[in-house]
Chain A
């Protein structure tokens, strides 16, 4: 007799217009295990999980829960079957309290009124039982993302979840928060919850999983365990070829300073001094990395450098010319390229076509414009050319940018910014949320820009990325640059210490 699984899906097929998102997918989940679903963006992981959670209905296929065939037509059915899901973009109402978010849809009532007192007791009891600290009366939008995620997990537990789907939960977390999450996940499995974990960070997948199923282009490539594979083995399964995980770059050939920043002060929305007297220079032919825990002034620094935020005092010069306040076009005209932190907010106009997005920084001048008129032909030709050159996977150049997967959206930005042969490249979290194939590609492009003489400023929360890509590393803490060191002469631990406030002298001793 065959093994009984907590969840088994057989032959799931789902077609979207023009795409076969899931192609006869089989997947099993054992009780109390962490089963990772690994794959590139667009491989069909999220589609499969949305089917399991009843948000999409499959064109073909069957579900079995504890060996019994079941029908899951909507999230309500899924919740009834004990399936819970923490979505990549949290499904929390920002203005509600934690408690209101947790009970929504499964409210306890007394007469016609909500019984918040009883619900609060239940939530506190859950908190204690699973070691998940949440403040029931806090407003969700005031909470850090790590805590919001905890709220999502409590929300699932409140519905007596047996099968928990975590869709790329670590994408938004700091390393410390991710550690917390893993501890929570182990705790849940000890109590009999089975977890489907979606990720494309190979290290953490190997660390946390019991089994790993890899998907590629809508199909299951295979299932393995951490003991039987390693990072490069998984990467090869995901991408279908060998992937270079190490960045392949020669020594830097730094020349003259391109961007010089002196004693820069910047305020945030609350008028707090968040960039406090920062000075550095980025030279032609080198990559300067800025390492730091998020929220130490990097975002404001970048906004000031790209002309999006007022400079309170200090000077910024580009090739010797002082940068006028809040004038992004001045910067673009003089060869600045910017890969922004948030590709949806600042990088792309999602409803615009890929072609229009690729023309965004130069739409107003030839060849994209003749006087006040657009030159459609030039815009299309430019797009066709860049789509091929930068390997953007799309059915056509007129598709809205919002329809692309994250990796391909990022490639659109990279193509637009790097095809102008930039003098200064500011890359802020250039590979956030991307899969190994796309990361490899974007890293190569950044190194290529450096080698052709661009000055590159790289900001990243991923220490591994800074370590492997940067030639020099500046550490930012509390709005100040506490040290600038040669990349080869510092360890990850030393950087980590400086990022959290240990003085440079002490950390490097």
Chain B
């Protein structure tokens, strides 16, 4: 039997994460020693750039874990960003604006669920419908010159924020960024440790088996896709209400699709998606930093960095990840 490579592979499978993490930590410390300000800026930016990506990835994940492919994340984010912004302009209440964004995402999720679960339309087409709808609606109703009512500000967490390096990176963030980190862990808990998670995974792997045990497959899919939509909506709210403070046409800029890559790279797990999102967030942060530093490369090329990373990661590293078995297949009761 051919086993020569097995021990190394086993080592990599078991300890690869730690080795990678350790290397990154050392790199960060060295870099911090040389240039504290830029290092802090890049890492803090990494966490914030990762926020919409991991929220989008979780949206995709909750859908696909119950076997509904959602490629409409981009559209959910975009329309939610727009509605959240408008509500902020009208009411001046950031909390209501964020909730309106999440609700918009959830409603688009309900639309996707209706198309793919009840009508059993091809899910790729259903998602595309949402993307086009969001692009069209936001483009049509967008008016320039709407005055913003401010955006969500960082909340330093007392003395934690004063810890060198990690204080600025982890404990001095605006609310949606904090909330997102919380949602990652809550998602992990629900998916792997609760009844709802077990049933969701069953519905995504073998819906008939779940059905024969008295589980309502359609209901599970509806709820998961709608809740996922709310997360995508939160990502949209992050863009207008926390990151930028205003709305621009097509401002999601492909994040909804990168989020799907993040989900796959994270092997359909919340923690894995978070790690993957941080990697992509880092690429985006680096891109900004390199442009700041005036590296002598045309900025268009530097701007490609996160997208190049997407291609490399999807083509090279995810070969062995296994999607839920029933992913994308509408369930027919007999």
On A, residues with C-beta under 8 Å from B are: 50, 53, 55-56, 74-76, 79, 85, 87, 91-96, 100-101, 103-107, 109, 112-114, 270-272
Is A85 touching B193 in the complex (CB atoms < 8 A)?
A: no
Q: Is the interface of A mostly helix, strand, loop or mixed?
A: loop
A102 to B208, alpha carbons, bound, how many Å? Answer: 15
Q: Taking the nearest CB of chain B, how far is it from the CB of A318, in angstroms? A: 32
Tell me, yes or no, whether B209 is within 8 Å of chain A by CB.
yes
Query: Does A92 lie within 8 Å of B206, measured CB to CB?
Result: yes
Name the CB-closest residue of B to A95.
Answer: B205
Residues of chain B in range 98-127 having any CB-CB distance to chain A below 8 Å: none
* Docked complex Cα distance between A109 and B194 (Å): 8
How many inter-chain contacts with C-beta < 8 Å in the A-B complex? Answer: 69
Residues of chain B contacted by A96 (CB below 8 angstroms): 201-202, 205
Least CB distance, A70 to chain B, in whole angstroms = 16
B194: contacting residue among A94, A106, A113, CB under 8 A:
A113
B2 CB within 8 Å of chain A? yes
Whether A104 lies near B213 (C-beta < 8 A) is: yes
Taken residue by residue from 195 to 206, chain B's Cβ proximity to chain A (1 for < 8 Å, 0 otherwise) reads as 100110110011
On whether the beta carbons of B215 and A104 are closer than 8 Å, the reply is yes
Instruction: For the complex, count residues of B whose C-beta is within 8 A of A.
Output: 22
Closest to A90 in B: B209
Known contacts being A53-B212, A105-B213, A271-B2, is A95 close to B325, with CB within 8 Å?
yes
Question: From A272, which residue of chain B is reached at the shortest CB distance?
Answer: B1
Residues from chain A with Cβ under 8 Å of B209 in the complex: 91-93, 101, 104
Answer yes or no: B327 CB below 8 A from chain A CBs.
no
Interface residues of B in 311-334 (CB under 8 A from A): 322, 325, 334
B202 touches A104 (CB 8 A): yes
Q: Which chain B residues lie closer than 8 Å to A103 at the CB level?
A: 198
Please state if B193 and A114 are interface contacts (CB–CB under 8 Å). Answer: yes
Most buried by B among A91, A106, A270: A91
Determine if B184 is an interface residue (Cβ-Cβ < 8 Å).
no
* Minimum C-beta distance from B5 to chain A (A): 12
Please determine whether A113 and B213 come into contact, CB atoms closer than 8 angstroms: no
Q: Which residues from chain A contact B215 at a C-beta distance below 8 Å? A: 104-105
Q: How far is the CA of A79 from the CA of B325 in the complex (A)?
A: 26
CA A105 to CA B334, docked complex, whole Å: 20
Q: A94-B325, A107-B198 in contact; A85/B1 too (CB < 8 A)? A: no
CA distance A94 to B324 in the complex (A): 11
In contact, A93 and B213 (Cβ under 8 angstroms): no
Least Cβ–Cβ distance between A444 and chain B, in angstroms? 34
Beta-carbon nearest neighbor of B194 in chain A: A112
Chain A residues near B248: list those with CB within 8 A.
Answer: none
- CB neighbours of B2 from chain A (8 A): 271
Contacts of B133 in A (CB 8 A): none
